[in-house]
Structure 1
Amino acid sequence: MKIKAVLLLAVSMLLVFTLGQTVFAFNDTSKDPNKSKIESLEKQGIIKGEKGGKFNSNGKLTYAAGISMLVKAFDLNIDNIRFIKEPKVTDYYPNLKDNAWYADAFIIAQLNGLEVPKNVKANDEMTREQFAHHLFKSIMKQGDFAFIELYMTINDEKDVNKDYMDSIQKLLISKIATLDKKNNFYPKQKITRSVAAGWLYDGLEFVKETPTIPEVPAEPAPQPIQGLKLTVTSVDKNINKVTVTGQAPHPGYGLRVASISFVDGQAIIKVETVQPDPDKMYPQVITEVSATTYVDAAYKPVLASTEAHASGDAAVSSPALAS
């Protein structure tokens, strides 16, 4: 019975300890104003504490920790880049170490435009303006967001690095960062781990809740060859000669058949512009250009469109012969 009681007590203590670890991620954040945000980031695996289960809210944020945190939080990567040789962190930041735990994060940050200073050292402590700038650059990698046209008055604006001002303004407008009661930002002050976590959490929420600006399709470039016309001449009872003509701004341009599609008794002919040689000079004289092909007389030749298409390498997709 005594052994069972001891075992029961041990199991109970283990459960209390386990549950306590689950509910209280860090044992020193109970009075931190960013407590809930810190715990959320910890649950997502974005931030980690220090020894003894402490977060150290008032501790300073090093560049190694800050950049690693941003890269992980916003899932920045270089998966779409193909390298001739494996990149090294010292290719970009000579004061860092290639085999260090933070090396990959700095490479990713560099290639994603976070604009980390070239002379950075791993244990350099980030200022508030530096973290704000890198945070904003990380946010903008998630999409193109619209911000209201508003300039926030900052009492200590003279202390702000002009290269960071736009980033700070955007964070203030979106309420990711805030000023104090005297409208000070304290740009050169070292940012605390708590403040950085709070801004990061709000930055992630901004990305999650704010729609990006939809991409506007680019308008097609005007085609230089205008007034396309199609003429058909019988070669024999089985073959027709088809000629497409148009007006070009000078004799450097040409015209060629890009493809022929046979649909419902029609030979749909698509032509494209042959661009002039950029190393030659041409007189600016309206010039007639043409392209000729031959099609089966059983099909009615028609133009695919009323304008010449941009030059490409499409082939004639038919048994017809193109000149």
Structure 2
Amino acid sequence: MNKNVIGFMAVSLAITLGSGLTYANVGFTDIQGTYGEAEIRSLQERSIVRGIGNGEFKPESSLSTAEAVQLIAGGLKSISSDKKEELKLEGETVEMYSEVWLEGWYADAFIDFNDNGLSVPAELTPSSSITKEQYTALLIDMIEKYAGLPLINIKPEEISDADDITPAYQGAIQRSLVWDITELDDKLNFSPRAEITRAEASVMLFHALEFLSKHPYRH
């Protein structure tokens, strides 16, 4: 092979490898000064969150259900618990779900999600947006399966827009507030029906994993 060609290939390979390492070290380029920057960077360092390409995270973009499943599945991999094997034995088989969940880029994340004892509400599809209350319910389900929960009486928080909360999610939302997974705004609103952003979802997952680390499951 021509020496010039070999030299060009070697230089190209070095640049490619160098670019990859630089990209991984620099992190997301569009989250500086945004809500949840520290939490997002922490999750990225642990390979829990992913960007959308070109070094971008798009923190203000709405989260799809498929992205929510991928995000939580990534968080589950960081949990060390002997309860995982128990839940795998109890979990539903993936054949019970629509094939739409098993054919896309999110299939592996969905299977991990299911294998860890979690399930996606039937009304949600991979491409549908997910609301704050729906995402909160998924996180609380994860916590209740994997945490050694303290036996305390939960004093309900006063929520200004409580009438907007779907009744089935009320308990999960109250627990998320008491466990510091979520918080109300300055007007005591939860905004349950709002589409959750990628930044908000990441911050909530960060706090959920922090809670789990402080309340490990024990037999």
**What TM-score results when the alignment is normalised by the length of structure 1?**
0.54
Deviations 1:178-217 (Å, cap 9, x if unpaired)?
Answer: 00011000000000000000010011011112355x66xx
3-state SS, counterpart of residue 89 of structure 2? coil
The structure in which a higher percent of residues are helix is 2
Deviations 1:80-124 (Å, cap 9, x if unpaired)?
Answer: 4399xx9445x22x3724232323433454565544221321111
Greater shift, 115-124 or 131-140, is seen at 115-124
3-state SS, counterpart of residue 105 of structure 1? helix
1:190 has 2:192 as partner: no
The structure in which a higher percent of residues are strand is 1
Greater shift, 13-22 or 107-116, is seen at 13-22
The residue correspondences of 1:252-271 to structure 2 (distance < 5 A) are none
1:292 matched residue in structure 2: none
2:211 matched residue in structure 1: 206
After superposition, the Cα gap between the structure-2 partners of 1:110 and 1:15, relative to the gap in structure 1 and judged at 3 Å, is closer
1:141 matched residue in structure 2: 145
Counterpart CA distance in 2 for 1:28 and 1:109 is 28
Instruction: Report the CA distance between 1:14 and its aligned residue.
Output: 9.3
**What TM-score results when the alignment is normalised by the length of structure 2?**
0.78
- How many residues align? The count is 199
Give the unaligned 5+ runs of structure 2: 1-14
1:37 has 2:42 as partner: no
1:96 has 2:100 as partner: yes
The residue correspondences of 1:100-119 to structure 2 (distance < 5 A) are 100-110=104-114, 112=116, 114-119=118-123
3-state SS, counterpart of residue 102 of structure 2? coil
Give the unaligned 5+ runs of structure 1: 1-12, 216-323
2:5 matched residue in structure 1: none
1:61 has 2:63 as partner: yes
Instruction: Report the CA distance between 1:140 and its aligned residue.
Output: 1.4
1:234 matched residue in structure 2: none
Instruction: Report the CA distance between 1:134 and its aligned residue.
Output: 0.1
3-state SS, counterpart of residue 211 of structure 2? helix
From 40, 45, 48, the counterpart of 1:46: 48
One-letter amino acid of the structure 2 residue matched with residue 81 of structure 1: L
Task: Give the CA RMSD over aligned residues.
Answer: 3.1
* 2:154 and 2:178 in contact (8 A); partners too: no
Q: Which has the larger radius of gyration?
A: 1
One-letter amino acid of the structure 1 residue matched with residue 164 of structure 2: D
Counterpart CA distance in 2 for 1:150 and 1:208 is 23
